[in-house]
């Protein structure tokens, strides 16, 4: 399910069901960063990664499950989303500076700088 992550960023949330015993059923709910930020997720050492999944009892009322998501899942997800967005912004700024510098070098020779993305299949000219 796609959601707006409290209206700040698009994200992906998923829910699944796991049964360990017939009486005890849990819903597994997880969130991941938006697709355009995946390659910019920070590397975390053991124990530092935000907790982006939770388990809740399927017997809880919907209001309590929503409250658990807001309290336990969204703050950690939003932290990871914000860190990924900051890393993407720094990456984009760095690349823009590189393209500008290369353009200044190539222009006197009548050449144009062409930027081709390595990840994905989109190519764009500058």
3-class DSSP state of 116: strand
Total structural domains in the chain?
A: 1
Question: By residue range, what is the domain housing residue 36?
Answer: 2-99
pLDDT in tens, 38-59: 899 888 887 788 888 999 999 9
The total of other beta-carbon atoms located within 10 Å of residue 74's CB is: 20
Whether 92 is in a domain gets the answer: yes
Using a cut of 0.85, tell me whether the model's pTM lies above it: no
Q: Contact at 8 Å (CB) between 55 and 102? A: no
Q: What is the pLDDT of residue 18?
A: 53
The angle subtended at Cα 49 by Cα 47 and Cα 52, nearest 5°, is 120
Is residue 91 in some structural domain? yes
**What is the spatial distance between Cα 62 and Cα 12, in angstroms, rounded to a whole number?**
19
């Amino acid at each position: 399910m796609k959601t707006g992550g409290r209206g700040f960023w698009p994200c992906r949330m998923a829910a699944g069901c796991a049964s360990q015993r017939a009486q005890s059923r849990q819903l597994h709910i997880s969130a991941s960063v938006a697709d355009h930020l995946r390659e910019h997720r920070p590397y975390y050492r053991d124990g530092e990664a935000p907790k982006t999944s939770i388990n809740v009892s399927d017997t809880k009322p919907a209001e309590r499950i929503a409250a658990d998501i807001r309290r336990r899942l969204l703050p950690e997800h939003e932290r990871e989303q914000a860190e990924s967005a900051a890393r993407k912004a720094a990456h984009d700024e760095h690349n823009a500076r590189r393209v500008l510098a290369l353009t200044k070098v190539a222009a006197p020779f009548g050449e144009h700088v062409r930027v081709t993305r390595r990840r994905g299949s989109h190519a764009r000219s500058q």
